[in-house]
Amino acid sequence: MGSDLTSAEYRDRIAIIDRITVSRPTIEKRKISSSIQIESQGVRHEFQLIFSYREDLQITENLAGLILTMPAINFTYFARELVLDFDVSVTDISQLNAFIHVNNREVFVNAICRRRYDFYKPEAIPQPDDITEANANGLTRLIAKKVIPKAEDKKPSMNNGKVAVLSSGGKESLLTYSILKETGFDVHPVFFNESGAHWRAAKPAFDSFAQNNNNTTKVWSNADRFYRFCLGLLPFLNQSVIRKRTDTYPVQLFTFPVYIMSMVPVLISRRIPIAFMGNEFDDPKDMPPFHGIRHYHAIFDQTPDFTNMMSSYLLSKDFNLTISSLVYPVTATIVERILIRRYPDIFALQRSCHSCSSIDGKIIPCGKCSKCMGIIMLILGSGGDPGRIGYKKGDIENAKISSGKLRLDSDEIEYLYSVNKADSHVTGIHVLPFEDHPFSLLPKSIRQAVLPIFVQYTSGVYVLDNGSWKQTQKYDSIMT
């Protein structure tokens, strides 16, 4: 990318990768892999992408290929073609195109235009006239070499008493696990094991769960190394900035679909019909379009739109499998409150930092990033002790004066820093604009089991009315 960058439309000059090819997968008893080939600026690069499991699984070429494709979608905004050299159905093609469309817009708007760090060199930053729908959509064309009418997946028979939790060291998955276990479900925690700080954050929870719950498992992948490999191929990125510790990514905004798809073979093998993500409430009134471009503020894969899309797709493939969230209508404040007050031993496992360190055998959060400062304030707001999960006194004092650095909704930040914490929608259960009753996205049996717990720790039911959240219902009207 040189001085003549303005001579072509932005999306054309930023798409320096000619094609990303996902080769036919190699399938072993407990491992799938594929050669991911990236052709850019006349040079062909290759990376061996791997997913491995702790149990024998039956995985078709179609499902293995789809799992191995997910990490590559993170980089499609910079690619002209994504080529799939394995069996895919028309349904798969439609869904992958939808994923590419969303990812490209998220990368353009949130990773490049609304960037929080100087990951991108000045010549890669769009000019005001470049901020258009066309440039947000990118150029990516999906090419499927082996189209089949429908994937030959056998419709599995599921056990409705079983549930899975996409698990990590975060408060949302810890609370989800705890509530489902308390209410009598057969809970299967499934962890995604990447190298480095991400796994360090998950390790306290994994070690504890593995010792106390035989259902605990993990999927290992070198996807994080693949991301670093791809970042190194983009000449308009500041590699020195990328190597610094930050609380966001330069490109990767499509990571949860990687985790979800990697879990699918485990869920099918174990006959688990529903898997829960830790997606908490994000205030829609804090999510306006950017220059008229609708986007998801870098959290697409943490929204009900995503879980609904994934569920529809997996059901269309006859997997009898849906994706949901137990905490989607409540704020981080409520998640932390219940975890601390009801499940204090599980709270002690919480690590919500992507830059954790291992000191004398104990996993310690960095205490400096925006996630850490937010967690500290949430814990203090719930009457908990941040020191119990590794935060130092200096970290705690710094968080108390750092409201501008928190990555939480505006009303929640105001609540956390208020002296007298009055109940508001921040402490309530939200009925989202597309719903007619609380927790409508949960199966009835799960909704009825978990709702009484949420009621104990919240202040009412709230709906969005002319841009403001208003309390509309008493709890006795939603308990039936």
Q: Mind listing the pLDDT tens digit for each residue in 6-21?
A: 446 999 999 999 999 9
Q: How confident is the model at residue 406 (pLDDT cuts 50, 70, 90)?
A: confident
Using CB atoms within 10 A of its CB, is residue 201 exposed (0-12), middle (13-18) or buried (19+)? buried
Instruction: Indicate the average pLDDT of the chain.
Output: 93
Do 52 and 76 lie in one domain? The reply is: yes
Q: Rg of the Cα trace of the chain?
A: 22
Q: How confident is the model at residue 354 (pLDDT cuts 50, 70, 90)?
A: confident
Of 279, 296, 325, at which residue does a domain stop? Answer: 325
337-350: per-residue pLDDT in tens?
Answer: 999 999 999 999 99
Q: What are phi and psi of 145, to 5 degrees?
A: -80, -25
Which range has the worst mean pLDDT, 64-78, 190-204, 339-353? 190-204
Q: How confident is the model at residue 475 (pLDDT cuts 50, 70, 90)?
A: low
- Residue 80 belongs to a domain: yes
Do 30 and 15 lie in one domain? The reply is: yes
Q: How confident is the model at residue 61 (pLDDT cuts 50, 70, 90)?
A: very high
Query: What is the arithmetic mean of pLDDT over 269-281?
Result: 96
Q: How confident is the model at residue 2 (pLDDT cuts 50, 70, 90)?
A: very low
Q: How far apart are CA 306 and CA 407, in angstroms?
A: 20
Number of domains in the chain: 3
Q: How confident is the model at residue 4 (pLDDT cuts 50, 70, 90)?
A: very low
Do 113 and 245 lie in one domain? The reply is: yes
Q: How far apart are CA 404 and CA 442, in angstroms?
A: 34
In 3D, which of 74, 68, 67, 83 has the Cα closest to residue 18?
83
Do 23 and 135 lie in one domain? The reply is: yes
- Residue 466 belongs to a domain: yes
Sequence-separated (6 or more) residues with CB below 8 Å from residue 316? 91
- Residue 392 belongs to a domain: yes
The tokens of 252 are what?
């990767």
Structural contact between residues 263 and 164, judged by C-beta atoms closer than 8 angstroms: yes
pLDDT of 153 higher than 70: no
- Residue 199 belongs to a domain: no
Q: How far apart are CA 428 and CA 451, in angstroms?
A: 12
- Residue 22 belongs to a domain: yes
Using CB atoms within 10 A of its CB, is residue 128 exposed (0-12), middle (13-18) or buried (19+)? exposed
430-443: per-residue pLDDT in tens?
Answer: 999 999 999 999 99
Structural contact between residues 328 and 353, judged by C-beta atoms closer than 8 angstroms: no
Do 29 and 57 lie in one domain? The reply is: yes
- Residue 355 belongs to a domain: yes
Do 23 and 115 lie in one domain? The reply is: yes
pLDDT of 473 higher than 80: no
Give the pLDDT of residue 196.
Answer: 65
Q: How far apart are CA 148 and CA 93, in angstroms?
A: 10
- Residue 291 belongs to a domain: yes
72-108: per-residue pLDDT in tens?
Answer: 999 999 999 999 999 999 999 999 999 999 999 999 9
Which range has the worst mean pLDDT, 72-81, 98-107, 275-284, 405-414? 405-414
The tokens of 390 are what?
């590794």
Sequence-separated (6 or more) residues with CB below 8 Å from residue 186? 159, 161, 162, 163, 215
In 3D, which of 18, 402, 39, 32 has the Cα closest to residue 222?
32
Of 293, 325, 357, at which residue does a domain stop? Answer: 325
Do 155 and 257 lie in one domain? The reply is: yes
Do 235 and 96 lie in one domain? The reply is: yes
Give the pLDDT of residue 3.
Answer: 34
Do 234 and 307 lie in one domain? The reply is: yes
Query: What is the arithmetic mean of pLDDT over 185-208?
Result: 91
Q: How far apart are CA 113 and CA 195, in angstroms?
A: 29
Q: How far apart are CA 402 and CA 390, in angstroms?
A: 19
Do 13 and 127 lie in one domain? The reply is: yes
Q: How confident is the model at residue 422 (pLDDT cuts 50, 70, 90)?
A: very high
Of 295, 325, 355, at which residue does a domain stop? Answer: 325
Q: Domain containing 453: what range?
A: 426-477
Do 288 and 359 lie in one domain? The reply is: no
Query: What is the arithmetic mean of pLDDT over 173-186?
Result: 98
- Residue 31 belongs to a domain: yes
Do 271 and 394 lie in one domain? The reply is: no
